[in-house]
Structure 1
Amino acid sequence: MRRRVRTSVDALEHLVGGLGTALLALGALIWVLAVAAACLVGVGLLLAPGALSVLRSVADRERARLSRWGGPVPEVGPAPVDGRAALRDPVVRRELGWVTLHAVLGFGTGLIGLALPLYAVQDLTFPLWFRLVPPDAAPGVVWWRVDGLPDALAVGLLGVGWLAVVVGAGPALARVQAWPGRWLLSPPPGVDLSLRVAQLTATRAAALDAHAVELRRIERSLHDGTQNRLVAVNVLLGAARRALRRDPGRADEILERAQHAAEQALGELRTVVRGILPPVLDDRGLAGALAGLAGGSPVPCRLTVDVPVRCAVAVEATAYFVVAEALTNAARHSGADAVDVAVRRDRDRLLVTVVDDGHGGADEARGSGLTGIRRRVEAYDGRMTVTSPTGGPTRMYVELPCGS
């Protein structure tokens, strides 16, 4: 039941988001039609590139919205600037079809999806405030006269019915609203394949870069830390061996220092190994490992994990790395007082959300660690979105494929 309610809440969120893009689609459709009408007299030719750009911008916003819910819908690049070339472009023709459908279907389903929960809340709470309205002013679609508490309770029962409709029909409405976008905004088959090849080439390069960076980090950790400790152990053991012949009492002190250096080397070696694949993931699972990170975070962290089934080890390690780096960034750069971390599995995707209440302004170009996180996420064919306006909050959203 809890899962069904969460699915309904997510569906309501997507319906409201779809209502917003439907309003944008309606505005873009009106503008395109106006420019097309102006082109009949030659005036609109100068406005055609701008209208195509507006159309592509609205379509890309819908692509991004759909990609956050379900399978990704890739963007297709900038719109053509030549009107004649645009008419021959299959992507533009599909976007014109989408903007027409979504302006009608998306707007209608969005209004219905928004009205149903409002009806449910209004009717459910009506027995609490029915005395404040005249008997003839019954709420919603109530057709009977409300003269007293029994009639008001009947309205409340109607609210229960509305709530059942919201839970049962909300996800279906969201799918209906998303259908034109998934059908028409996805690239044509040939373009889709070429985009996928380009995407795989880019992610492979990112994976190789991330692998090289990881190897350099391991090499640097071993060279600067463990190797130096082991060299110190070797030097101290040689000194102790010489001291055994000259000053046996001094040899015991040197051996104690060598033992201490060996213990430090072992500790640093364990740290390097944990950085490759944290053993806590095997011991405690993803939820336990993230709880350990949250408990040790310098910034107070509220953690929510809903992953009923284990994911692949590499995916869990990537999620662990993302949260660890995000908490480190929040402590070093954001000035945040609290961080919210939510990890949940949605079908074949592992979703990680990290939100802090800091001053915002996070920028990948300034070396804040976000580039390393993005490379590691994209190496596993995942996606990462960061929004960090000046003044905050900073929100990181990561999707990782984890199988069905």
Structure 2
Amino acid sequence: MPTRDATDVVPADDAIPATGPRPPRPWDAFARARTALDAFEHLVGGVGTAILALVMLVWVAATAAACLVGVGLLLVPGTLRGVRAVADRERARLSQWGPEVIGREPGTGPTRLRDAVADRGTRRELRWLVGHASVGLVLGMTGLTLPLTAATNATFPLWWRLVPQGEATDSLGLITVNDWPSAFAVSLLGLGWVAVAVGFEPGLAWLQAWPGRRLLAPDPGTDLALRVAQLTATRAAALDAHATELRRIERSLHDGTQNRMVAVTVLLGAARRAVERDPSAADAMLEQAQGAAEQALAELRAVVRSILPPVLTDRSLTDALSGLAAGCPVACRIDADVPERFAASVEATAYFVVAEALTNIAKHSGARQATVVVRRRADRLWLRITDDGRGGADEVSGSGLVGIRRRTEAHDGTFVLASPVGGPTTMEVSLPCGL
């Protein structure tokens, strides 16, 4: 059997990994405090929607009582819209602090009493309304009271002398303060309240949000159905954009390159006939034919570059956008910080979005300068194009904005346009990186 000699290395005691509990680290307390602060913010928003739910619950009860005599039937559509509006407000609040809670499409949902009774979504919203207006409001007020109680007790030595003699007590009335030692005792009690608030606030926020996430979420399969509908719409938009691009290329070849080549053919035929009769005239015609051929070649190259710019393959998206800015009649600044490459289709879409936007700026905006910002945010490529023009751009004026939207949505991207009259105009486009 092998034996250990004197040269064998024996691990030191501090090299053996510890198996006991990890000692607390200073930043753990800050993380818990931050979590409690976020939970307090959630509870404040929950109290707001709980008050709205309480008001709407009273209105629903009044409408139900009025329905017993028939008058309330006229109030049912408005009441249902009100319940839906409050529920959508809670969905928006919950979506800010966690997974998105999808609601109904605007303008949908029952408006008659019989349909509302049969609609499962409406019944779930009413159940949430009752729970959030009662339990949710209590949880929210409790969550608001804990930090206020902690702050009141912790700062007690600062203001207890302003309270009339015999009325200075802690929040629970356990300690009557008549001197400084008892005042500091209340302050120590306030530190205990701080610990209680830090420990309980996240749980209260979770309990307040749980009924909304359970009752206001769509039925299983609804999210998938919405996604299928969205993909169907974007697929149709992609096909439409593809057909539009083919028509554009066909027009460019037919109206430009083809006419140039016809001119070259005519000039070459005339020059051939004039060779024997008037060589000097034939030379002039050949020169015109050469010029027409060069123009046709330049237009053909422009069409090819419009299909897929070679600079995207040879260099980078930043270089391609810099080329667009250099050729724009309006002074344009490119602020691009995307050192990595993306999928070819994504880069081509970003290029054409910027190209179309700069063309619109040059033709319609009257701007003196434009700025293009390109960044990568998480798994998306984000672009913002701004100009200081007159504004008032919209998608129905035939300015190419519809094509930009279709190109963007075909890649499952987003398109946002803000163009108030008087300017400035801001266009934001977000595309999946495609990596």
The reply on whether 1:240 has 2:239 as its aligned counterpart is: no
Question: Aligned equivalents of 1:58 and 1:390: distance in 2?
Answer: 33
Residue 78 of structure 2, aligned match among 46, 50, 54: 50
Question: Aligned equivalents of 2:329 and 2:99: distance in 1?
Answer: 34
Residue 286 of structure 2, aligned match among 227, 242, 255: 255
Residue 329 of structure 1, aligned match among 334, 342, 360: 360
The reply on whether 1:81 has 2:114 as its aligned counterpart is: no
Structure-to-structure mapping, 1:355-374, within 5 angstroms: 355-374=386-405
Secondary structure class of the residue paired with 1:365: coil
Secondary structure class of the residue paired with 2:275: helix
Q: Counterpart of 2:161?
A: none
Question: Aligned equivalents of 2:93 and 2:273: distance in 1?
Answer: 70
Secondary structure class of the residue paired with 1:268: helix
Question: Aligned equivalents of 2:348 and 2:240: distance in 1?
Answer: 18
Question: Quick one: which amino acid aligns to residue 314 of structure 1?
Answer: S
Residue 198 of structure 1, aligned match among 200, 206, 229: 229
Change (3 A) 1:247 1:27: farther
Could you tell me how far 1:342 is from its partner in structure 2? 2.0
Change (3 A) 1:195 1:285: same
Question: Aligned equivalents of 2:423 and 2:219: distance in 1?
Answer: 39
Could you tell me how far 1:375 is from its partner in structure 2? 1.4
How big is each residue's C-alpha offset from its partner over 1:309-338, in whole Å with a ceiling of 9 and x where there is no partner?
311111111111111111222222233333
Change (3 A) 1:48 1:323: farther
Question: Aligned equivalents of 2:328 and 2:211: distance in 1?
Answer: 44
Could you tell me how far 1:27 is from its partner in structure 2? 6.6
Could you tell me how far 1:265 is from its partner in structure 2? 0.4
2:60–2:79 contact (8 Å) kept in structure 1: no
Question: Aligned equivalents of 2:387 and 2:348: distance in 1?
Answer: 22
Structure-to-structure mapping, 1:176-187, within 5 angstroms: 187=218
Residue 310 of structure 2, aligned match among 273, 279, 282: 279
The root-mean-square deviation of aligned C-alpha atoms, in Å, is 4.3
Normalising by structure 1, what TM-score?
A: 0.66
- Amino-acid identity (%): 59
Change (3 A) 1:195 1:316: same
Normalising by structure 2, what TM-score?
A: 0.62
Residue 339 of structure 1, aligned match among 363, 366, 370: 370
Secondary structure class of the residue paired with 1:302: strand
Could you tell me how far 1:213 is from its partner in structure 2? 0.8
Change (3 A) 1:38 1:378: same
Could you tell me how far 1:234 is from its partner in structure 2? 0.9
Question: Aligned equivalents of 1:65 and 1:321: distance in 2?
Answer: 37
Change (3 A) 1:181 1:80: same
Aligned residues: 324
Q: Counterpart of 1:301?
A: 332
Question: Aligned equivalents of 1:380 and 1:354: distance in 2?
Answer: 19
Question: Aligned equivalents of 1:351 and 1:184: distance in 2?
Answer: 35
1:383–1:398 contact (8 Å) kept in structure 2: yes
| Structure 2 unaligned regions, length at least 5 | 1-38, 145-157, 159-207
Secondary structure class of the residue paired with 1:364: coil
Could you tell me how far 1:384 is from its partner in structure 2? 1.5
How big is each residue's C-alpha offset from its partner over 1:236-275, in whole Å with a ceiling of 9 and x where there is no partner?
1111211222222222211111111111001000111111
Could you tell me how far 1:389 is from its partner in structure 2? 2.8
Could you tell me how far 1:193 is from its partner in structure 2? 2.5
Change (3 A) 1:40 1:54: closer
Q: Counterpart of 2:239?
A: 208
Change (3 A) 1:41 1:72: closer
